[in-house]
Amino acid sequence: MVQTRAKPLVLHGLSAAQHELHPTLVHSLQQAGLDLTDTDSSGWTALHCAAMLGDATAVRCLLQSEGNERQVVLEAARSGGWRALHLAVRGGHLQAVEELLLANADVDARLEASDDARTPLHIAAEHGHAEILDLLLRCGADPTPVTRHLRRSALHVAVVAAH
């Protein structure tokens, strides 16, 4: 199941089933040849799945790899430019967001492939996730970027979304 990109990968299934994902399991799978940067047919890595589900334990385990692979996994973008941080923010998963920020996720990463190039701050504002918005700002998120299409800041987005 690990060798193919056309089917879901081992860690995708573990995250989706909400199993406990322990560092020893991830390490064992890596030793057996698992590449944490592998994607499924939709461009999702295991980290994307864990972040979208808000599984902070899985996020932490998947980010325990070292060096270049960790940064590649952390900043991998699926279609539309969505990174793990964008997905965790959109879902309102505060603990997963914290884990990603502790691993130095790019707090100002833009959805470059989309029409509006939103940042995690825009997404938190749009969905009314005040605690996450506060955390992003405390971690140095720049509040000044505007979306490409309508030129809206995170504040504009929050007002339009009535938050």
Domain ranges of the chain: 1-106, 108-163
Looking at CATH, the fold of the domain delimited by 108-163 is given as 1.25.40
The two structure tokens encoding residue 133: 């918005």
Q: Which two tokens stand for residue 23?
A: 């560092």
Alpha carbons 123 and 102: distance in angstroms, whole number: 19
Distance CA(105)–CA(101), nearest Å, equals 5
Structure tokens at 48: 């994307």
Domain 1-106 and domain 108-163 have a common topology: yes
d(CA 128, CA 125): 5
pLDDT in tens, 11-63: 555 544 445 666 777 778 778 887 878 888 888 888 999 999 999 988 998 88
Q: Please state, in angstroms and rounded to a whole number, the distance separating the CA atoms of residues 142 and 58.
A: 28
69: its two tokens:
């692979």
CATH of 1-106, one of 3.40.50.1010, 1.25.40.20, 1.10.3720.10, 3.40.50.1000: 1.25.40.20
Tens-digit pLDDT profile for residues 72-120 = 888 888 777 899 999 999 999 999 999 999 999 999 999 987 768 899 9
CB atoms closer than 10 angstroms to residue 94: 17
Cα atoms in the 13 Å half-sphere on the side-chain side of 8: 12
Q: Percentages helix, strand, coil for the chain, rounded to the nearest 5?
A: 50, 0, 50
